[in-house]
Structure 1
Amino acid sequence: MRIGLYPGTFDPVTLGHIDIIERGLALVDRLVIGVAINRDKGPMFTLEERVEMLEAECAEITDRVGGEIIVHPFENLLIDCARDVGANVILRGLRAVSDFEYEFQMVGMNRALDSSVETVFMMADARRQAIASKLVKEIARLDGDVSHFVTPAVQTRLKAKMQG
């Protein structure tokens, strides 16, 4: 069984993330969405909220296209998370050259830790390349329209978070 791990903070999940999830699902038998706890990033949404959003979005994806998706929080090393879930491939989305430089270093470190786990880079769809969770949060904070970047359900949660 081909098991892929798509890790990230998903704070919040964007249409760019969903694009990678849908396309990545076609490459593996099971796709595990690794939700990084990463306290250093100071997420807007709690881990539980991010997991809930992803589970809801992934349920819609599997209803539409099939496949198996599991949402899995993790706080350990990415390569250890890959081992924990039995992943033999890590999927990473790339938007720009700056993403590649960071990801290139990560691949080297991960290969040194476990050469049996491959990393596959997926370029974001051209319509989604500019989407970044950090920018989506900033637009939402300034009461801007984020409907081009997130699903209606995530937009509702962003608005509620801004008001409360």
Structure 2
Amino acid sequence: MGNCKREKNVEGTYKKAIYSGTFDPITNGHMDIICRASNIFEEVIIAVAQSEAKNPMFDHEQRVKFVKAATNKIENVKVVGFDTLLVDLATELKINTIVRGLRAVSDFEYELQMGYANSSINKDIETLYLMPKLENAFVSSTIVREVIKFNGKYQHLVPKEVLECI
């Protein structure tokens, strides 16, 4: 492979990755990706974007709290809030792998563009795309927010720790 910089550790995992999102709220689909990433990398930073332009249902502090509650039993996961470009945060944290989830083909085009944009800003950034298990493929924060808004049943779509917070 020639000039590969990344090295596996003894257990077969890579060092660090960052997984970002608005997490408004964090869903079982997000947790699926987080669990998979935590099995691949020694450390996974979950970066909760402020994203005020998206007009989130829950404020930034609440969303960080939700993610911390949902991931508190995963030893190699840390949660941070941020309000910068993801690629700048990754560079600041000395992380060169961004993890992104893909639910459907419709996600792929957007995520591919973002991956290329990030790579154009920092050529050392790699993007790893993970797909959730089939039972989580339809779950999105948008769907959960709509169900919450209309007092529907959403408990099966979010981690139990988040239910306690909501």
On whether the aligned pair clears a TM of 0.5, the verdict is: yes
2:24 pairs with 1:11: yes
Of 147-156 and 87-96, deviating more is 147-156
Question: Which residue type is aligned with residue 115 of structure 1?
Answer: K
Distance 1:157 1:140 in 2: 14
Distance 1:84 1:16 in 2: 27
2:160 pairs with 1:152: yes
Alignment of 1:1-150 (within 5 A): 2-62=15-75, 68-150=76-158
Q: CA deviation at 1:134?
A: 0.9
Distance 1:156 1:146 in 2: 13
Q: CA deviation at 1:157?
A: 3.7
RMSD of Structure 2 on Structure 1 (CA): 1.2
Distance 2:135 2:81 in 1: 28
Structure 1 unaligned segments of length 5 or more: list them. Answer: 63-67, 159-164
Distance 1:126 1:61 in 2: 22
Higher helix residue share: 1
Distance 2:164 2:145 in 1: 13
* Matched residue count: 153
Partners of 2:69 and 2:162 within 8 A in 1: no
Deviations 1:124-146 (A, max 9, x none): 11010000101101111111111
TM-score, scaled relative to structure 2: 0.88
Distance 2:92 2:133 in 1: 30
Partners of 1:32 and 1:85 within 8 A in 2: no
Structure 2 unaligned segments of length 5 or more: list them. Answer: 1-13
